[in-house]
C-alpha cells in the first residue's frame, strides 16, 4: 500500500495543534511561540514533510511563482492579466491567478494561500482601499505590488494609470467639440481613481460655467453593464438636455449606450459617449466606443519590474508608477454640431 503523503493536517493531528498554528510555525510567523515552532519543525522532519516551506530563504530566492489576485476577472484587470502573463514569461516566471469576486474574505484567503505556498511575490487589485490586513499578513514575508487606482499609499508599491490626466483628456475632447452640457456616470465604489475623476470633472464643468451632472450607481455589487444601463435611463429621464456623457468604466459605458439606443437616442448624433479603461470589446465594430485606454503592457512591465526588484532586495524603498493613458477616438463620440 503506497505511503500517504504527509500534509500540514497530518502534522496538526500528530501534535494536537490547530492547522493555523502549524501553518504559522512552518512559515516562521512572529506571533507563534519558539517552542511551538521547534515542535512543528521537528515533527515535520521526523515524518518527512519536506515542502519548500522548510527551506524558506532558499525557496524564496528560487521560487518562480507570482500570485495575481484580482477583484474581478471580468473587468479590465482580467485583460491586464494577459499582459502580466506575457511579461512574466520573459522572466521565466509563472503566474497563479485568483479571482476574489469583490469579497474581502476571499481576498484574505488568497493572500494567505500565496504566502503559505511561498510565492515570489503578489500582484493585487484590492477589493477595498483599506489594505491594512493585506499589509499585516505580507509584511516582511513577500513583496506586494498594488495594481489600479484603489491604492495610492506612498508607503506601498503601486502601479496605476493617471486617471486625472485621462479624465481631462476625455472632457477636453468633448469641450473642444462644442459640448457644454456634459454628464458623468459613476459607480459607487470608493477609490482614489474615482475620486480623482470626479474632481477633474467638477473642476472642468466649473471652468465652462456648467453645473456638475453626476449620475451615481447606488449598488456597489451590481454588474457594471447593468449599472450603466440603469444610469443611462436615469440620465434620459432627468429631462436635462445633455449632449455628451463621460463614463468612468467602459463596461458601464456599454450599458449607457444600450439604454440610449433602446430609447431611440442616437449615439453620437444626439449624445456622445466616452468610456474609460480601453477594454478589448470597446474596439468591436458594433460598439466602436471612444475610450481612455490604460497602457496595459507598460503597466504590466512596471509591475513585474518592481516585484523582481523587491524580491531581490527586501529593504528596497516603495515604488510608485503612474502610467499616462491615451484617448482613443471612435464612433461613439463626435462634435456637438452632429446633433440632429
Q: Which CATH architecture has domain 163-294+327-338?
A: 3-Layer(aba) Sandwich (3.40)
Q: What is the band of 60 on the pLDDT scale with cuts at 50, 70, 90?
A: very low
> What's the pLDDT at 188?
74
> What are the sequence ranges of the domains in the chain?
8-50, 63-161+295-325, 163-294+327-338
Mean per-residue pLDDT, 2-19: 81
Q: Residue for cell digits 491604492? A: 151
Mean pLDDT, all residues of the chain: 90
User: Do 63-161+295-325 and 163-294+327-338 have matching folds?
Assistant: yes
Q: What's the mean pLDDT in 280-297? A: 96
Angle between helices 296-312 and 76-90 (to 10 degrees): 50
In a 13 Å sphere around the CA of 206, the CA atoms on its Cβ side amount to 6
pLDDT digits 0-9 by tens, 305-317 = 999 999 988 889 9
pTM > 0.85: no
The per-residue pLDDT for 46 is 87
Note the pLDDT tens digit of each residue in 104-127.
999 999 999 998 888 999 999 999
Q: Where are the beta strands (DSSP E) in the chain?
A: 65-70, 94-99, 121-125, 144-147, 157-161, 182-186, 213-216, 244-247, 272-277, 290-293, 320-323, 326-328
Percentage of the chain lying above the pLDDT 90 cut: 66
Q: Fold for 63-161+295-325, please state it.
A: Rossmann fold (3.40.50)
Lowest mean pLDDT: which of 52-56, 133-137, 140-144? 52-56
User: What digits encode the pLDDT tens for the residues 184-219?
Assistant: 999 876 677 888 999 999 999 999 999 999 999 877
Amino acid at each position: 500500500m503506497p505511503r500517504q503523503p504527509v500534509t500540514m493536517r497530518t502534522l496538526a493531528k500528530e501534535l494536537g495543534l490547530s492547522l493555523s498554528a502549524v501553518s504559522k510555525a512552518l512559515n516562521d510567523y512572529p506571533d507563534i511561540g519558539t517552542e511551538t515552532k521547534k515542535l512543528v519543525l521537528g515533527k515535520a522532519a521526523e515524518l518527512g514533510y519536506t515542502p519548500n516551506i522548510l527551506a524558506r530563504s532558499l525557496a524564496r530566492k528560487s521560487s518562480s511563482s507570482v500570485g495575481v489576485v484580482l477583484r474581478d476577472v471580468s473587468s479590465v484587470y482580467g485583460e491586464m492579466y494577459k499582459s502580466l502573463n506575457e511579461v512574466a514569461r520573459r522572466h521565466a516566471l509563472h503566474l497563479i491567478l485568483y479571482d476574489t469576486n469583490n469579497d474581502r474574505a476571499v481576498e484574505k484567503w488568497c493572500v494567505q494561500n500565496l504566502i503559505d505556498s511561498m510565492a515570489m511575490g503578489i500582484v493585487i487589485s484590492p477589493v477595498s482601499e483599506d489594505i491594512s490586513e493585506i499589509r499585516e499578513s505580507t509584511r516582511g514575508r513577500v513583496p506586494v505590488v498594488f495594481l489600479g487606482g484603489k491604492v495610492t499609499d506612498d508607503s506601498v508599491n503601486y502601479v496605476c494609470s493617471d486617471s486625472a490626466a485621462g479624465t481631462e483628456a476625455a472632457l477636453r475632447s468633448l469641450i473642444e467639440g462644442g459640448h457644454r452640457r456634459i454628464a458623468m456616470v459613476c459607480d459607487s465604489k470608493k477609490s482614489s481613481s474615482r475620486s480623482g475623476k470626479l474632481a477633474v470633472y467638477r473642476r472642468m464643468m466649473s471652468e465652462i460655467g456648467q453645473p456638475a451632472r453626476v449620475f451615481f450607481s447606488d449598488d456597489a455589487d451590481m454588474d457594471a453593464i447593468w449599472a450603466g444601463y440603469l444610469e443611462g435611463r436615469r440620465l434620459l429621464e432627468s429631462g436635462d438636455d445633455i449632449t455628451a456623457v463621460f463614463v468612468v468604466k467602459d463596461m458601464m459605458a456599454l450599458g449607457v449606450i444600450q439604454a440610449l439606443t433602446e430609447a431611440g437616442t442616437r449615439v453620437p448624433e444626439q449624445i456622445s459617449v466616452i468610456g474609460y479603461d480601453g477594454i478589448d470589446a470597446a474596439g468591436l465594430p458594433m460598439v466602436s466606443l471612444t475610450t481612455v485606454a490604460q497602457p496595459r503592457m507598460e503597466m504590466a512591465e512596471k509591475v513585474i519590474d518592481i516585484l523582481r526588484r523587491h524580491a531581490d532586495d527586501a529593504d528596497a524603498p516603495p515604488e510608485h508608477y503612474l502610467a499616462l493613458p491615451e484617448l482613443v477616438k471612435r464612433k461613439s463620440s463626435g462634435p456637438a454640431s452632429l446633433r440632429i
